[in-house]
Structure 1
Amino acid sequence: MSTQQKRVALVTGGSGGIGRAVVERLSRDGFAVAVHYAGNAARAEQIAGTITGAGGAAIAVGGDVADEQAMTAAFDATEAAFGGIDVVVNTAGIMLLSPIATLGLDDLDRMHRINIRGTFVVSQLAANRVRAGGAIVNFSTSVTRTQFPTYGAYVASKAAVEAMTLVLARELRGKDITVNAVAPGPTATPLFLEGKDETAVANLAKAAPLERLGQPEDIAEAVAFLAGPARWVNGQVLFANGGLA
């Protein structure tokens, strides 16, 4: 099969924990993948090189997700390499935790710029450039309904992601493009583990009925479902959290 015949996925944050697992999972499904990075070009290039070395098709593309010109260039590079885009998975985001009463507003602005504006910029480009039969997958969090303390500003940004995702699904009526969000529970990534002691991690691991943390590969399975066979799942938030209430 030539590269031009493959389905093509652009994964923002593709050099990160969940993003990398998504890239690797979609590659195993036969996708050509664009591995997006914001700051770590070497890691994205290494991931793309590993996929290419194993017989897959991958490139690295960079840019600030909240910068529409940078992301237009990333979409352009993906289309130039592979002939089009079928799936956009938007895993890029940051998580800054603090009680609402004490969160610095600069941190609020930084998080909302990346998580809200970034998702909006990428979703806007995807809405105009994903091919028929394709999928857009954004990322929320299970904390939108578990309401853990210190997550207030982060949850606010992800609630906005859920809202724009569900509206976009309705706006793309007639284009045969699904739009969904994945809402992971506690997942063993550097983003999640940073700043937590062993007791906090252990308590979170026990919170789900399956009594473990999610792994990036667990979340990638949900994305692969939405990116591939789940054509009748549209305008939904899929909670991938092991049964966390």
Structure 2
Amino acid sequence: MALSGKVALITGGAKNLGADIARELANVGANLALHYNSNSSKADAAKLETELKQKHPSLQVKFYQGDLTTADAVTGLFKAVVADFQKVDIVVNTIGKVLKKPITEITEAEYDSMFAINSKAAFFILKEAAAHVPDGGKIITIVTALLAAFTGFYTSYAGSKAPVEHFTRGVSKELQQRRISVNAVAPGPMDTPFFYPQESPEAVAFHKANGMGNRLTETTDIAPLVRFLCTEGAWITGQTIFANGGYTTR
């Protein structure tokens, strides 16, 4: 298969989009190093591990828990994965935090948390990926379609994701001669448990009305795109790919 013998590290890989990306990459032969943040995801990790090992008994699947908002934590994750797998060929970063509030209500602590998770963690994951991924590898970060939108209340969310575009482009140039593709994928509002607490029923209806088929983005819309970028789509690099059913564009 296309990724036989490869090792894919997926941050936030125990549930939702991360889990669907794990399924896609396993289907084409990748061994999986799957990270999750908190104890609340342990049950999801255990369930996914059972599923993957039953479906793909020949693949290696290992889970790692940790808060990745410090450089040391990210370095520690990569060291642990390399110790277990001897290499990391693909890195997919799905972690993120959403906040919908007027700017007048956002506290300094909330600002710091948003940028630590959405921007700082992404930067140091890219840094470690650049140091560890071999020639011909793949690095992908999940961002947001709000990078192409003009709206209020998501100021800290879109703002903390925006630097990742620039990180992605810069790293893609640094790694271009090594044939390592580096991209960002920007889904539309996604039908996951992270979305609904932020939104009223009227807002959900509005978001659906702006997507093709009058629906939100599904994780299963995005996971095959990530798989494509890791296989046939390797010529694509330095891009932010807006996969949102027509929700928005630049």
TM-score, scaled relative to structure 1: 0.93
Q: Which one-letter code corresponds to 2:196 in the other structure?
A: L
Matched residue, 2:33: 34
* Counterparts of 1:81 and 1:45, CA distance in 2: 18
Change (3 A) 1:71 1:45: farther
Question: Which consecutive residues of structure 1, in runs of 5 or more, have no partner in the other structure?
Answer: none
* Counterparts of 2:151 and 2:60, CA distance in 1: 40
1:23 positional shift: 1.2
Output the aligned Cα RMSD.
1.7
Pick aligned residue for 1:75 from 78, 96, 116: 78
2:233 aligned with 1:230, yes or no?
A: yes
Matched residue, 2:92: 89
Change (3 A) 1:121 1:45: farther
1:75 positional shift: 1.6
1:201 positional shift: 1.3
1:147 positional shift: 2.2
Conservation of the 8 A alpha-carbon contact between 1:139 and 1:161: no
Pick aligned residue for 2:138 from 135, 139, 148: 135
1:194 positional shift: 1.8
2:27 aligned with 1:24, yes or no?
A: no
Q: What secondary structure sits across from 2:209 in the alignment?
A: helix
* Counterparts of 2:134 and 2:45, CA distance in 1: 25
Matched residue, 2:54: 53
Matched residue, 2:192: 189
Residues matched between the structures, number: 243
1:43 positional shift: 2.2
Deviation by residue 1:198-236 (Cα, 9 ceiling, x = unmatched):
222122111123321111111111111112211110000
Conservation of the 8 A alpha-carbon contact between 2:191 and 2:216: yes
Deviation by residue 1:63-92 (Cα, 9 ceiling, x = unmatched):
112222222232223223333111100001
Q: Which one-letter code corresponds to 2:33 in the other structure?
A: A
* Counterparts of 2:187 and 2:92, CA distance in 1: 14
* Counterparts of 2:47 and 2:15, CA distance in 1: 12
Deviation by residue 1:101-143 (Cα, 9 ceiling, x = unmatched):
2211211110101111100111100000011111100121111
Q: What secondary structure sits across from 1:85 in the alignment?
A: coil
Q: Which one-letter code corresponds to 1:80 in the other structure?
A: A
Q: Which one-letter code corresponds to 1:46 in the other structure?
A: K
Conservation of the 8 A alpha-carbon contact between 2:21 and 2:226: yes
**Range moving further from structure 2, 76-85 or 162-171:** 76-85
TM-score, scaled relative to structure 2: 0.91
Conservation of the 8 A alpha-carbon contact between 1:13 and 1:90: yes
Conservation of the 8 A alpha-carbon contact between 1:210 and 1:243: no
Q: Which one-letter code corresponds to 2:45 in the other structure?
A: A
Q: What secondary structure sits across from 1:223 in the alignment?
A: helix
Q: Which one-letter code corresponds to 2:29 in the other structure?
A: G
Conservation of the 8 A alpha-carbon contact between 1:137 and 1:182: yes
Q: Which one-letter code corresponds to 1:51 in the other structure?
A: L
Conservation of the 8 A alpha-carbon contact between 1:87 and 1:135: yes
Pick aligned residue for 1:174 from 177, 189, 194: 177
Question: Which consecutive residues of structure 2, in runs of 5 or more, have no partner in the other structure?
Answer: none
* Counterparts of 1:85 and 1:52, CA distance in 2: 20
Deviation by residue 1:39-80 (Cα, 9 ceiling, x = unmatched):
023322331232112224311012112222222232223223
Q: Which one-letter code corresponds to 1:215 in the other structure?
A: E
Conservation of the 8 A alpha-carbon contact between 1:139 and 1:158: no
Displaced runs of 4+ in structure 1, greater than 6 A? none
